[in-house]
Chains A and B, each alone.
Chain A
Amino acid sequence: MGQYLVRRLLTIIPTLIAISFVIFAVLDLAPGDPTSALPETIRPEVRQQIRKAMGLDEPFPVKYGLWMRQFFVNEPLSLIEKAFGIQIGDGEKRLRVTSWGSRGVPVMDMILERVPQTLWVVGLAYLVAIVIAVPIGVVSAIRQYSIFDQVGTFISLIGYSIPTFFTGLLMILLFSVKLKWFPMIYDTNLQVVDWHSFVEQLRQSAMPVAVLGFFQAAILARFTRSSMLDNIPMDYVRTATAKGFRERYVVIRHILRNSLIPVVTLIALGIPAIFSGAIITEQIFRVNGLGALLIGAIQLNDIPLVQTVTFIFACLIVAFNLIADVIYGILDPRIRYT
């Protein structure tokens, strides 16, 4: 296992370098001009000056090299400085990856600013989805074709066939406009310091979490159900039942544990998606998390920001793939890595 981990960790390095090159090259070659979003009254000469000020005139290898250095050396150093409040070398002169849309603002700061609300809203939705979906999936499988199963199947079908922009709008109209229970604007500046602000935080998260959780739960419940159904007719289940164990015991100790192996893997692989945010839901409720950041950057042709965000997502996906493999090995003793 240890050897396996080391080998996997080592292969990550060339993988990430290759990914960074592809992302950088594709975005660099893609058509699009960061000055195109500026008002039409701005003359071409001025646009050229702005492009030059952003560093667009440099040749590709220079831009790539500079970005690599900024991303792999300067940014980590700045993060360490910030985290521990220390000074390493001449921090003032160190060039950081800065945005084109918000000139002068380090891309990393923009990303870090958005992580809390994305993790809170999307992560919470994911947790809620797991907590709801697994029991529903289990009961649906055991009582296959019962009323509960039929209703559950129907609701999950609705859950993943209705887009989130529709459920989101529906919830706003119902809970904000008609009932006035929840706010429709997410306040990213809200600090949870006491009971009152915690309740506020829950109130403003309720709708986006519900919308996203509903969608996720629908998928996970279907997955759990089919995984359970795969295991129910197995011989070991029949043996356990023949031994006279109570049904509850057989379901939880035998069927569920085996059925959860693929589900846990699926959940682990889904975690990077939490970081990439939920573009549409964030937009509807003005959560302004990472998804909104990325889509805004794409619209403005803010290339450094898009490159950095995409690359961080790539890193997360690579990392969680590894984690999923490791978890798989831990959960299932039949699988052993060498």
Chain B
Amino acid sequence: MIGRHFSTLRVTAVLLAMAFLLAACPAAAPTGGESMAADEEMAEEEAMEEESKVLTILYWQAASLPGPYLSGGTKDQDAGAITLEPLANYDPNGTIVPRLAVEIPTIENGGVSEDLMTITWTLKEGLLWSDGSDVTSEDVVFTWEYCSHEETGCTASEAFLGIESVEAMDDRTIKITFDSPTPYPYNAFVGANTPIISSAQFANCVGSAAQTCNEENTAPLGTGPYRIIDFKVNDVAVYERNPHYHGEAAYFDTVIFKGGGDAASAARAVLETGEADYAWNLQVEPDILRDMEAAGLGTVISAFAGYVERVLVNQTNPHSDLGDDRSEYMEGDNPHPFLTFPPIPQAMSMAIDRTLISEQLYGFAGQPTCNVIPAPLHYVSESNDGCLTQDIDGANALLDENGVLDTDGDGIREYNGIPLKISYQTSTNSVRQKTQALLRQWWLQIGIETELINHDASVFFGGDPNSPDTYQKFYTDLQMYTTGPTIDPQQHLSNWICEQIPMRDNSWGGGNIFRGCNSEFDALFEQLTQTPVGPEREALVKQLNDINVQSFYQIPLVYRGEVSAQLDTLKGVWINGWDSQMWNVGDWHR
């Protein structure tokens, strides 16, 4: 009896001891942080006591690393953009603005060579890294070497394609030489996906050694308004004001870049409780966001880049009777039986109420559009804007005029005896299925019957050559998804030339998914690849957009953006779709 009594006591004692250990934990163990120097820690705490100015930014996808080179997510790029800077940024209108560079090199100021083979950048004078050391052109050269080294496994290496060499002409001058004439030379070192990193810091991290550089990867030196002082992987990053910043000193003492949770609660933390100042990428039903915004603490803001939700119109015959020849271009010998007759897709486009779709289904994240190149502004054509108004009567009249009539009285029109029955596929996603349902209803009003199909996104976009349900195979009459150009549309437009048509022979590898071949388009595109940035290039892009839209290869629906939220007390935010949303964080203040 006594022995048992003691045993129970012992167990109770152990449990109690554990309780104390647990309770003491946060106090005793300073969270195993990496390399935060003790004095910095002290300074941070003292600052906190004085009610310091803290900026809290919520990213519901937490950052894995602060920087775009080893981890390709927007969250990582944005965590980096608070401290790392490129030579130039894109502003929200898509204009290039200098950052570390003195000015933007052009042909006019001699920065870009006449033959479009080189571009020469000049760094601002007196630039310093956040540890006080000098920034030189060697750092820029090193950044290129670091990212283009095969064994680094650099996630941004795309931006350095076509570069033959990057040379330091002197301490502040960098010359980039391309391997072929490059009319748009601003892919490298412009925008948050290619910032400059310190050659002194990363010297031993090139190639396969990049995988072992723990301290460098989690605490890169920067040139930006803030510098990183603590980084907890997939959790939180803490920054302080960078005393060596080349611009005006930043307003906040501390920036906290917190990750985790979900989009709806991030929105709530800004709009309803005001705990955070800024929340990124709020993929939340528009009605819920409007309700939260009504609390009056903050504002929902949207950023638009080039993404357009569009319906692709198959120019080839996808009928299942054709077997392996379904949706094969076959040098134009397998045209679609009725969708290649322009009045039919034109009427389908006229019947759509794009404003309704974008307001009801996309909310803050959408605007109606009639173009496949929706931005930047100087590339946007205005000749298709008529599509913004729904015109079902006009669509019916158009079909009647062109002899596409309902001859057998079943409510469905026929073209050359073939009833207008179409299949329409997209990925499984509630917004997309609602869009499908709306379009089907409008098309029924003009005598076209639609069968709706959806595939799981991982299958539809998965690209498995053995699956019949991928967007590349396109075994339906219509399909819908989003793509969009980067800041310069050439790369995007290059997908739509004739030789890019996906087919068996190239394992469905091309980007001309709608399988439309237009010699005029190809000729104008060829011209585009040799035309430098300027009004002539802008006119060409508009023409290319118009050919695509007016041939009804694609029916644009909604110009899609990203939605964030900010507290009303936070000033200076200028949300950016073309660059990091953190691109001007140095200007944020209260």
Known A98-B214, A110-B233, A112-B32; contact A288-B22, beta-carbon cutoff 8 A: no
Inter-chain contacts of A119 with B (CB < 8 A):
22, 25
Inter-chain contacts of A124 with B (CB < 8 A):
22-23
Q: How far is the CB of A184 from chain B (nearest CB, A)?
A: 6
**Does B153 lie at the interface of the complex (its beta carbon under 8 Å from any beta carbon of A)?**
yes
Q: B11, B19, B27, B153 — which one has the most chain A CB atoms within 10 A of its CB?
A: B153
At the interface with chain B, which of A48-56, A154-162, A242-250? A48-56
B 281-311 contacts with A by CB, 8 A: none
Inter-chain contacts of A112 with B (CB < 8 A):
32
B 106-152 contacts with A by CB, 8 A: 150-152
Whether B208 pairs with A288 at a CB distance below 8 angstroms is no
Whether A103 pairs with B29 at a CB distance below 8 angstroms is no
Measured CA separation A146–B210 after assembly (Å): 67
A 221-268 contacts with B by CB, 8 A: 257, 260, 264
**Does B371 lie at the interface of the complex (its beta carbon under 8 Å from any beta carbon of A)?**
no
Inter-chain contacts of B466 with A (CB < 8 A):
none
CB < 8 Å: which of A52, A104, A117, A331 contacts B8? Answer: A331
**Does B236 lie at the interface of the complex (its beta carbon under 8 Å from any beta carbon of A)?**
yes
Whether B158 pairs with A185 at a CB distance below 8 angstroms is no
Whether B235 pairs with A103 at a CB distance below 8 angstroms is no
Measured CA separation A25–B299 after assembly (Å): 49
Whether B32 pairs with A123 at a CB distance below 8 angstroms is no
Whether A177 pairs with B233 at a CB distance below 8 angstroms is no
Whether B260 pairs with A50 at a CB distance below 8 angstroms is no
Q: How far is the CB of B414 from chain A (nearest CB, A)?
A: 40
**Does A116 lie at the interface of the complex (its beta carbon under 8 Å from any beta carbon of B)?**
yes
State the interface size on chain B (CB cutoff 8 A).
Answer: 67
Inter-chain contacts of B32 with A (CB < 8 A):
109, 112-113, 115-116
Inter-chain contacts of B212 with A (CB < 8 A):
95, 98, 104
A 277-314 contacts with B by CB, 8 A: 282-288, 292-293, 296, 300
At the interface with chain B, which of A35-43, A58-66, A67-75, A137-145? A35-43
**Does A26 lie at the interface of the complex (its beta carbon under 8 Å from any beta carbon of B)?**
no
Inter-chain contacts of A217 with B (CB < 8 A):
none
**Does B426 lie at the interface of the complex (its beta carbon under 8 Å from any beta carbon of A)?**
no
**Does B170 lie at the interface of the complex (its beta carbon under 8 Å from any beta carbon of A)?**
no
Known A120-B26, A192-B27; contact A102-B234, beta-carbon cutoff 8 A: yes
Q: A54, A104, A331 — which one has the most chain B CB atoms within 10 A of its CB?
A: A104
Inter-chain contacts of A183 with B (CB < 8 A):
273, 275
Measured CA separation A198–B212 after assembly (Å): 37
Inter-chain contacts of B150 with A (CB < 8 A):
49
A179-206 vs B: 1/0 string, CB under 8 Å? 0100111011111110000100100000
How many contacts A-B (CB < 8 Å)? 202
Measured CA separation A40–B462 after assembly (Å): 11
Q: How far is the CB of B98 from chain A (nearest CB, A)?
A: 25
CB < 8 Å: which of A49, A117, A257, A327 contacts B153? Answer: A49
Known A53-B153, A327-B11; contact A102-B71, beta-carbon cutoff 8 A: yes
Whether A191 pairs with B45 at a CB distance below 8 angstroms is yes
Measured CA separation A176–B56 after assembly (Å): 17
Whether A288 pairs with B62 at a CB distance below 8 angstroms is yes
A16-47 vs B: 1/0 string, CB under 8 Å? 00000000000000000000011111110010
**Does A167 lie at the interface of the complex (its beta carbon under 8 Å from any beta carbon of B)?**
no
Known A53-B153, A201-B26; contact A105-B210, beta-carbon cutoff 8 A: no
Whether B155 pairs with A188 at a CB distance below 8 angstroms is no
**Does A172 lie at the interface of the complex (its beta carbon under 8 Å from any beta carbon of B)?**
yes
Whose C-beta in chain A lies nearest to the C-beta of B261?
Answer: A286
Q: How far is the CB of B263 from chain A (nearest CB, A)?
A: 12
CB < 8 Å: which of B45, B214, B273 contacts A106? Answer: B214
**Does A85 lie at the interface of the complex (its beta carbon under 8 Å from any beta carbon of B)?**
no
Measured CA separation A115–B211 after assembly (Å): 24
**Does A170 lie at the interface of the complex (its beta carbon under 8 Å from any beta carbon of B)?**
no
Q: How far is the CB of A277 from chain B (nearest CB, A)?
A: 12
Whose C-beta in chain B lies nearest to the C-beta of A288?
Answer: B235
Inter-chain contacts of B230 with A (CB < 8 A):
189
Measured CA separation A330–B32 after assembly (Å): 36
Inter-chain contacts of B216 with A (CB < 8 A):
104
Whether B155 pairs with A123 at a CB distance below 8 angstroms is no
CB < 8 Å: which of B4, B210, B276 contacts A185? Answer: B276
Q: How far is the CB of A321 from chain B (nearest CB, A)?
A: 17
Whether A116 pairs with B258 at a CB distance below 8 angstroms is no
**Does A77 lie at the interface of the complex (its beta carbon under 8 Å from any beta carbon of B)?**
no
Known A184-B265, A292-B260; contact A103-B30, beta-carbon cutoff 8 A: no
Whether B152 pairs with A53 at a CB distance below 8 angstroms is yes
**Does B58 lie at the interface of the complex (its beta carbon under 8 Å from any beta carbon of A)?**
yes
Measured CA separation A296–B272 after assembly (Å): 27
Inter-chain contacts of B211 with A (CB < 8 A):
53-55, 98, 103-104
**Does A273 lie at the interface of the complex (its beta carbon under 8 Å from any beta carbon of B)?**
no
Q: How far is the CB of A212 from chain B (nearest CB, A)?
A: 13
Whose C-beta in chain B lies nearest to the C-beta of A292?
Answer: B260
Whose C-beta in chain A lies nearest to the C-beta of B237?
Answer: A189
**Does A318 lie at the interface of the complex (its beta carbon under 8 Å from any beta carbon of B)?**
no
Whether A99 pairs with B233 at a CB distance below 8 angstroms is yes
**Does A12 lie at the interface of the complex (its beta carbon under 8 Å from any beta carbon of B)?**
no
Known A102-B233, A288-B259; contact A46-B26, beta-carbon cutoff 8 A: no
Complex A-B: 30 CB contacts under 8 Å: A39-B73, A42-B72, A43-B158, A49-B150, A50-B154, A50-B155, A55-B211, A95-B212, A102-B65, A102-B217, A103-B71, A103-B210, A104-B65, A104-B212, A104-B214, A109-B214, A113-B32, A113-B33, A127-B19, A127-B22, A185-B56, A185-B58, A185-B275, A189-B230, A191-B31, A283-B260, A285-B261, A286-B261, A288-B235, A331-B4
18 new A-B contacts, CB < 8 A, other than A112-B32, A185-B276, are A39-B73, A40-B461, A41-B158, A49-B153, A53-B151, A55-B211, A98-B214, A103-B210, A110-B234, A177-B273, A185-B275, A187-B258, A188-B232, A188-B236, A257-B4, A285-B261, A286-B258, A331-B7
Chain A residues in contact with chain B, CB under 8 A?
A: 37-43, 46, 49-55, 95, 98-99, 101-106, 109-110, 112-117, 119-120, 123-124, 127, 172, 176-177, 180, 183-185, 187-193, 198, 201, 257, 260, 264, 282-288, 292-293, 296, 300, 327, 330-331, 333
